[in-house]
Amino acid sequence: MDIYVRPPEPLSDNGDMVLNWQKWRKDFMIFMKASNSINKERDYQAYLLRTYIGKIGQDVIEKIVSNHLKERDDMNILLAKLDKYFLPPKNEVIERYNFFKSRKNSDVSIENYIVYLKNKATTCNFGNMTDSIIRDKLIIEFDDKQMRQKLFNVKNLNLSEFISIFNEHKSAMQKKKQDTNQNRKQIDGNNIKNDNVSAKNVTHSDKETNNSNGKGKRVRRQNKKNYSKCNQRHPMQTCPASGFKCEEPYKYNHYTNCCPVQPTDTEKMEHPTAPPLSDIDHMLYPNLDHVKTSQETLKGMVMDGK
């Protein structure tokens, strides 16, 4: 009893005809073997081919065997002529260049990418080295030192092992990235929290606070502005101008540039003169007594001369 096997869909002209023909040819040969039609007469095999290939394929067959009608009854001849029609001669150099230039898109799985490379390799004449060449291309293409070292540690690495290592490494890298992002968010959150606490502390310290004697008196924060006597900031009762004598007479405990008594323009232009010796306290400046005595003697001599 024959088992029913579903035949392939008619050949489509939607998209790349080379790929369409390769796929249809492969599906047709699977059907022929599964239905045991591969062992039937050649004319019957050719009949099945002409039937299931559909309108697109039938038009091509009429074109390529119009002068040799007997060829239409031989499946192998039809397949060879259809291959020649849909698969024009390829330039091996160009085909291999396009193969090695291929790059995996981020949204394509490694499994589908390898299938794509195998299809590209069919026109490169790699022969029985196809899988090993694809493997080597993948190792060079994915420039990841950690993954590459894992691949190098496997003896006689095949494509199945490559897929397994690639997917495991990709999952590990994604988890590491997620953990890093989570830690970064946690650190940023802590920094924001600390900044808020610091801002509250600064605001609190700027306010008036109770002093330590517990009497409820309120003191203002020190060092908030420059003191008028020295134009500097410092704790209370530690003014560097304390005891300093201003250039203005009898002015103490402030710098000259901070003196509350500002000289007039006329006073600013006058040159300073030494005070009379009679006004000098000999207790403060005893070394000037002989100068004072000399001036008095000279004054007496002048008066006597008059």
Whole-angstrom distance, CA of residue 301 vs CA of residue 3: 159
Whole-angstrom distance, CA of residue 286 vs CA of residue 205: 55
User: Per-residue pLDDT for the chain (306 aa), expressed as one digit of tens each?
Assistant: 567 889 999 999 998 898 999 999 999 999 999 999 999 999 999 999 999 999 999 999 999 887 777 888 999 999 999 999 998 788 999 999 999 999 999 899 999 999 999 999 988 999 999 999 999 999 999 988 999 999 999 999 999 999 999 999 999 988 888 878 777 777 766 666 665 655 555 455 445 444 444 444 444 444 556 777 778 777 777 787 777 777 766 577 877 778 877 655 544 444 444 455 566 566 655 655 554 555 565 555 545 654
Whole-angstrom distance, CA of residue 76 vs CA of residue 81: 9
Whole-angstrom distance, CA of residue 132 vs CA of residue 130: 6
Residues ≥6 apart with Cβ < 8 Å to 280: 288, 292
